Amino acid sequence: MDRLYPVLVLLLCFACPGCNEDVVIEAPPVMQVGIDSIEFGAIAVGRTVTRDVVVQNAGASDLRLDQPSFLDDPDSVFGIDSYEAIIPPASYGIVSVAFSPSDIIRFEGIMLITGNDRDNPVAEVSLGGDGYRQGAIEIEPDLIDFGTVNAGEVGLGEVFIRNIGSGNLLITNIELGPATSSDFQILSSTRPSTLASGGEVSIRLAYRPGAESFPPGQGRLMIDAADPFQPHSEVTLVANLNRAPVADAGPDQDVDPLDEVFLDGSHSTDPDGDLPLSYAWTLVRKPEGSSSVLFNTATAQPGLIPDLVGVYEAELFVTDSTDLRSLLPDRVVITSVPAERLLLELVWDSPIADLDLHFIAPGGAFGGLLDCFYGNREPDWGDPGNPVDDPQLKRDDLMGFGPETIGYNEPVGGTFQILVDYFAAHTPSGQEPTTVSLRVFVDGILVAEIVKRLDSQGQLWTVGTVKWPEGTVVEIDLLE
């Protein structure tokens, strides 16, 4: 609103007998009220609305206002919310008048604005408004901050919807805004419902990021209600996402039995850069009878010695510097495949028994030069001095489980014997029952598995024969 320019001060000079002094007369304030009536319209019983009246001072000195008062207001539905008691020259002030209907009827009154304007000390403003019953919505809070939430975890929040009106309030719709991340969820019912005056209902919300989630940005909870003054309300939803690290256990590998292999988790990452990562490896699969274990499992590159032919599977979890673990593990498969064309494996289930594997060439005898065993680990069969056509005892286990392993790269032709000697029980009585398994692999394929229960040291088990180059196994199963 334009402000008025000040009225010039009138200087009147009078000739006074006996003196020649000038007399200065100050101009008074001039009160001007911008409107002479206010219509509040239909207002719900129990609610309060305000309207502003502009009071201008067109004079040259301060306009001083008294507390505005009311005529014809027996129910005291009109009131002063605020007013400015002093309005400087060429300026304006605001008188805020409130209307709070107490019933469903028409209300009228007069507001008196009184000031120190000698010519116009009182201004009247007619007031009118209608009261009716209506629900009125109030939402608290208008922003939910879920804080920092780890991927795979849940942040919770709650919004309260209240009816502060004088009648029932119909909640017509509750939903998330169209651009809101799907990781925000409404946990409460969203069906239309009616709140009585003074009633309250809570809407529970969750922020539930997953392994593939991205930072959610700003979301919105939208609430529609039959409140003509506030038919649509929104609550802002914000959250910070701590994304989980991603484990990478490295490529699958094929190795020879008893060869040391190193896994590689160094390519694991954290999308938020929360480094360094820590590592936790577990061997979750290995061949039956295997005693292999992972070592250095808290490093990026643990080791493994596969003791039997078969499949080994290791699982990796990584944890970032915020102590958040990867939501899913990554797995790597190590396939132990013999390079030898013929491989024998012996395992047993007693932790203290010592059993020895014997592989005897055609024409040989138990414990002789043609017997491959712990006392003759690399006998020279086939062409003299050529190790390719010689067998080798690759591992001798002195106590517990095995394996004892004999490999043969290029077997010579003929029929070979396989025997198992129960060498020592490591008990005072010499008794230590154990279940023994003998496995035969030809070109990496298991062609025979023969199982026997042995009871005491000194027993000699003739398992069977292997015929080469056919690669056939004949079971004898003779116990002496």
Measured distance CA(423)–CA(374) in Å, rounded: 11
The pLDDT, as a whole number, for residue 215 is 94
Q: Model confidence at 25, in pLDDT bands (50, 70, 90)?
A: low
> Of 427 and 44, which is predicted with more confidence?
427
The pLDDT, as a whole number, for residue 18 is 44
Across 275-297, average pLDDT: 95
Strand order from edge to edge, sheet including 294-295: 261-262, 303-304, 294-295
Across 300-306, average pLDDT: 97
CATH fold match for the domains 11-132 and 137-242: yes
What superfamily does domain 137-242 belong to in CATH?
A: Immunoglobulins (2.60.40.10)
259, two tokens: 């060869």
Across 237-241, average pLDDT: 97
pLDDT tens digits, residue range 142-176?
999 999 999 999 999 999 999 988 889 999 999 99
The pLDDT, as a whole number, for residue 282 is 98
pLDDT tens digits, residue range 357-394?
999 999 999 999 999 999 999 999 988 888 888 999 99
Across 283-287, average pLDDT: 95
The pLDDT, as a whole number, for residue 24 is 52
Across 408-425, average pLDDT: 95
The pLDDT, as a whole number, for residue 403 is 92
> Of 14 and 465, which is predicted with more confidence?
465
Is 3 a residue whose pLDDT tops 70?
A: no
Measured distance CA(357)–CA(255) in Å, rounded: 23
- The CB-side HSE value for 147 (13 A sphere, CA atoms) comes to 7
The amino acid sitting at 208 is R
Question: Between the ranges 9-23, 34-48, 78-92, where is the mean pLDDT highest?
Answer: 78-92
pLDDT tens digits, residue range 327-347?
999 999 999 999 899 999 999
The pLDDT, as a whole number, for residue 26 is 67
pLDDT tens digits, residue range 173-213?
999 999 999 999 999 999 989 999 899 999 999 999 999 99
Report the top-level CATH class of 342-479.
mainly beta
Query: Whole-model pTM?
Result: 0.63
The pLDDT, as a whole number, for residue 139 is 96
Is 319 a residue whose pLDDT tops 90?
A: yes
> Of 103 and 433, which is predicted with more confidence?
433
Sign of CA dihedral 480, 377, 424, 293: negative
Measured distance CA(22)–CA(26) in Å, rounded: 13
Is 415 a residue whose pLDDT tops 90?
A: yes
Mean pLDDT estimate for the chain: 91
- Span 253-336: which CATH code? 2.60.40.10
Is 1 a residue whose pLDDT tops 80?
A: no
pLDDT tens digits, residue range 93-144?
999 999 999 888 999 999 999 999 999 999 999 999 998 878 889 999 999 9
User: CB–CB of 37/110 below 8 Å?
Assistant: no
Measured distance CA(251)–CA(267) in Å, rounded: 11
182-186 long-range contacts (CB < 8 A, ≥24 apart) are 183/207, 183/208, 183/209, 183/210, 183/213, 183/216, 183/239, 183/241, 184/216, 184/219, 184/237, 184/239, 186/221
11-132 adopts what CATH topology? Immunoglobulin-like (2.60.40)
Domain residue ranges of the chain, discontinuous segments joined by +: 11-132, 137-242, 253-336, 342-479
Phi, psi of 388, rounded to the nearest 5 degrees: -65, -40
Is 12 a residue whose pLDDT tops 50?
A: no
